[in-house]
Amino acid sequence: MTATRNLPGLDVSRETLSALQAYESLVQRWNTAINLVSKGTLADFWMRHVVDSAQVFTFCPEKAQTWVDLGSGAGLPGLVVAIIARELRPGLRVTLVESDLRKATFLRQAAQALELCVTVLSQRIESVPALSADVVSARALAPLADLLGFADQHLARDGVAIFPKGARYETEVVEARKAWSFDVVRQPSHSDAEAALLVIRNIRRAQD
């Protein structure tokens, strides 16, 4: 285990770090056949993808029982969350929603290889019946205004949405407020000094 392979803000075992490295190896192997992540990010996969996804877990409420990751793609952050939750929150049920059948196949195969108990729904987000999740996440999926629409559909009334966003996150917040009312806390990113995690509650349409 290399000294740099750690997770800021999380105290996890060597077994969990090893599982995350095994997950990284699976993505590297599958990426030659399926474009799971940009090839240019593979060399710095741990920081760009694992740390970036793991930090989302740090804002999981203590009483959360269900986590839904929308547009999971390579399992970022969904599979990373499931690996960490196995140790730190073993009762948390994780559901991954991914409409691309090839990526959904990867998610199922990776979950099986890593012995993770997750549910993979290979459907469009809009067509999935309301999931009433305690936590909803999405990474590199859509503008914030669209994400709030998805969260409004799948989040429990007192749930929290956690969306990692890049340098333009303030612009996205301003745009989203034209259609939505919501409470947001901006958390600094451990993986990108210009990025932030938007922790959002009380989502409702602006005219409501």
Q: Is 172 annotated as a binding residue?
A: no
Q: Is 93 annotated as a binding residue?
A: no
Q: How confident is the model at residue 3 (pLDDT cuts 50, 70, 90)?
A: very low
Q: Is 204 annotated as a binding residue?
A: no
Structural contact between residues 88 and 10, judged by C-beta atoms closer than 8 angstroms: yes
Task: Give the helix/strand (H/E) hosting 202.
Answer: strand 196-205
What confidence tens digit (pLDDT) does each residue in 130-179 have? 999 999 999 989 999 999 999 999 999 999 999 999 999 999 999 999 99
Annotated domain spans of the chain: 14-205
What confidence tens digit (pLDDT) does each residue in 178-206 have? 999 999 999 999 988 999 999 999 999 98
What confidence tens digit (pLDDT) does each residue in 46-88 have? 999 999 999 999 999 999 999 999 999 999 999 999 999 999 9
- Whose tokens are 């914030």? That residue is 144
Q: Decide which of 156 and 6 is more confident.
A: 156
Q: Is the pLDDT of residue 24 over 80?
A: yes
Q: Is 125 annotated as a binding residue?
A: yes
pLDDT at 2: 43
CB atoms within 10 A of CB 80: 27
Structural contact between residues 93 and 66, judged by C-beta atoms closer than 8 angstroms: yes
Structural contact between residues 164 and 197, judged by C-beta atoms closer than 8 angstroms: yes
Q: Which amino acid is at 82?
A: A
Structural contact between residues 191 and 159, judged by C-beta atoms closer than 8 angstroms: no
Q: Is 71 annotated as a binding residue?
A: yes
Question: What class is the 14-205 domain?
Answer: alpha beta
